[in-house]
Structure 1
Amino acid sequence: MSNTSNLTYPCIPGNTLCEVLLLLLYEVELIVVPVVFFVLFFTIFIIVLVLKCCYHKPTKPYQHHIIEKHDKHNPNNTQASTNRHRNSARQHLQGIDAPPQFNPMEHEVIPMSAKSHHNNQNGKPAVPQTSTERSRDIFELITPLPPTLSVQHHDSVTLYRAVMDKQPVILRVLKESADSREHKSFLGFARFLKELGPHTSLPRLLGVVTVERPLMIVMEELEHRDLLSFLWRCRQEHTGQTAPCDLTERRIFTMGAQIGSALEYLHSKNYIHGNVRARSILVGRDLSVKLWGLGPAFRRAMDVGSSMDSVEHVEMKKWQAPEVLARKPLQPSSDIWSFGILLYEMVTLGEVPFPNIMPSELLQYLQRGNKLKKPPSCSKTLYSIMENCCHWKPNDRTSLAELIRKLQSAESRANDQTVIRVSEPLDIENYMKEVGYTDSFSYAAL
């Protein structure tokens, strides 16, 4: 019994020194050790917190640059001028979201998943390079571009009309809600336009706002905007005097040759447009035309998905070649087919191609040997060119060089006196249905 007691309690009864030492040992184990651990943990926590606070970098103020060709940077701008311009631009653009426009410049589809191959080493979006930078106080009279026909699209770009150096311009503004991928895509499209280079029948890139939000692409404004709206207005202007939009057969050949020249330039750069139609043409004050609608070409240049990405939109099918409708690779001759459909739009003043045929039925309709019917106001010469563009087999279609030659030759002999008129009023709701828009659009009277 005494052996067991000695194992559990090592001190001999009555030995006061042993009992005091034993008590001190218990205090070290139960009190001192936990306190040491707590102090150590608290010290480490304070050190980590201090290091984290010291590492945080202050946010630098935004810098706002306008990049434009053929102008020199003004080194005399003061910081006060910078702040005034920044506040002015914000006042005009902040919170203004014009509805999407039925306008080719509004519907440049920017792929949300695009990865620009022009990124720098730091992983930041590549900035289009131009020769010089503009001073900051350049935009005046910034207003949303008024709609002609609104269609519900999920675009990240809003259009504004403005004045820059006493010249009317169009601002393609990236919305404030855009994410980083949309920023890269937006800047990638700006670089694409820059690298594409100038051409007399392509809209001019005047500058890019690249650093401070909102990002902007500055394009020249063409007074009559898109060709489709222009053609529809021509249906309504039946005054006795010569109207600005009076269209003759010679004018159609002139416009066609200009568009063909722009297509030839794109093909020489190894780009296929893939979106040739009246909505993709812009009309200037003197009725000269320029080719726009470069979204599909941009996507292919960025290697986003397959070449069939541009056919995903149902509303484009009425202009697409049979091989594209059959989801085969896009070819330069596919643009020739679409060009023939464009000529049909022009001579009919904006009639829907292949009327009474739904987009889902168009491929079968063409497989049965059906073609575009000759419009009443179309001459044999113009219809012959349309037929040569719209052969079923791509190799049977006329070449672009031959097409331009025929258009220029026909222009010199064409009637320049008789104005093309269409007696039937335009049924916009039926047009939208036959093109392929269903419940996802809203329209307004022109």
Structure 2
Amino acid sequence: QEVAGLILERMNRQTDRQTDLTFFYFFPHTESASARECQSFLGFAHFLSELGSHPSLPRLLGVVTVQTPLMIAVEELEHRDLLSFLWRCRQDHTGQEAPCDMTERQIFTMGAQIGSALEYLHSKNYIHGNVKARSVLVGRDLSVKLWGLGPAYRRKTSAGSIEYVGDMEMRKWQAPEASARWSFGILLYEMVTLGGPPFPNIIASELLQHLQRVNTIKRPPNCSNTLYSIIKSCCQWKPMDRVSLAELIRKLQSKEKSTNDQAVLRVSEPFDMEKYMREAGYGESLNYTVL
């Protein structure tokens, strides 16, 4: 706690900008940890420091490496991850808590910010590999920042090692060849459905065959033609048919200016965690063997 306080005190002296919250990544059991685990933790800290600053990426506030516990301090945002935020938007708010209203314009605004972060990562030759609502942080002003950078670091360091083939629980978010543009389309789907899982009626183990038959993601009931067109342009089976990241950002920014911000998105079905986990494909990885 003393070290964490020193980091925050130093940050307050260095900037006038307010940080919503600070999240600390601790490296536990340092004495018993393997050299490889320690090196990986320090490598990730170095990766974050080299990444540089971008408005839509969380700020690295500090790193402790000269004493235990090893620690990385990263900017955290008030509403935390986007998926949990979207689930709260489904619920009726009673009492003193302010309503959590999501509009289609906010989807375009958030999408443009996330796209900008992806474009920045690509300019540095990094592949995010983990684009989904759980990897997005939401601030008090509903601005968003892209997090979940662990896969980007592992891809950089493993050079395609079999150890980092990918998260089996990402199968409904990733194209067969792991495309950020495909996953971006799924992210937009998550947003308009207020945290609904993609392809809810298709089990994850059959999704590849489903897509090979030129099936595409279905339009949610509350999704406009404009937004659905953008989602489909991301989720094309052939990579060459997908919208470019630059064009995607341009479309999102254009629609942000012209879309009505009054109609609040509603989903009639209450959130059910057990149903979500089943439809999202979590746990099915136990039935898989990676060759």
TM-score of the two chains, using structure 1 as the length reference? 0.58
Partner of 1:274: 129
Q: Contact 2:169/2:283 (CA < 8 Å) preserved in 1?
A: no
Task: Report if aligned partners of 2:169, 2:285 keep a CA contact under 8 Å in 1.
Answer: no
Q: Could you say if the C-alpha distance between residues 137 and 347 of structure 1 is closer, same or farther in structure 2, counting changes exceeding 3 Å?
A: closer
Of the structure 1 ranges 193-202 and 164-173, higher mean CA displacement relative to structure 2 is found in 164-173
AA matched with 2:235: C
State the Cα deviation string for residues 56-115 of structure 1 (Å, max 9, x = none). Answer: xxxxxxxxxxxxxxxxxxxxxxxxxxxxxxxx64xxxxxxxxxxxxxxxxxxxxxxxxxx
The runs of at least 4 consecutive aligned structure 1 residues that moved more than 4 Å come to 162-167, 238-242
Distance 1:241 1:256, change over 3 A: farther
Structure 1 gaps, min length 5: 1-87, 90-134, 141-161, 325-333, 442-446
Q: Is the 8 A contact 2:117 2:146 kept in 1?
A: yes
Distance 2:130 2:104 in 1: 24
Identity %, equivalent residues: 69
Q: Could you tell me how far 1:233 is from its partner in structure 2?
A: 0.6
Aligned partner letter, 2:28: K
Partner of 1:320: 174
Residues 253-292 of structure 1 aligned to structure 2 (within 5 Å)? 253-292=108-147
2:65 to 210, 228, 242: 210
The whole-number CA distance in structure 1 between the counterparts of 2:57 and 2:66 is: 26
Is contact 1:193–1:205 with CA below 8 Å preserved after alignment? yes
- Letter paired with 1:322: P
Q: Deviations over 1:335-383 (max 9, x none)?
A: 0000000000000000010002111111001011111111111001000
Mapping of residues 43-442 of structure 1, within 5 Å = 89=2, 138=6, 165=12, 168-176=21-29, 177-238=32-93, 243=98, 245-303=100-158, 305-306=160-161, 309-311=164-166, 313-324=167-178, 334-438=179-283
Matches of 1:307 and 1:395 in 2, distance apart?
26
Distance of 2:163 and 2:126 partners within structure 1 = 14
Q: Which has the larger radius of gyration?
A: 1
Q: What CA distance in whole angstroms lies between the structure 1 residues aligned with 2:208 and 2:284?
A: 23
What is the Cα-based RMSD across aligned positions, in Å?
A: 2.6
**8 Å CA contact 1:296, 1:310 repeated in 2:** no
Contact 2:108 2:256 in 1 (8 A): yes
Structure 2: gaps (5+ residues): 13-17, 287-291
The answer to whether the 8 Å contact 2:22/2:76 transfers is: yes
Greater RCO structure (CA 8 Å; 6+ sep)? 2
Q: State the match for 1:40 in structure 2.
A: none
TM-score, normalised relative to structure 2: 0.88
Q: Deviations over 1:269-314 (max 9, x none)?
A: 1111111000110001100000011111101111354388252x22
How many residues align? The count is 278
Kindly tell me: are residues 268 and 307 of structure 1, through their superposed partners in 2, closer, same or farther at Cα, counting changes over 3 Å? Answer: farther
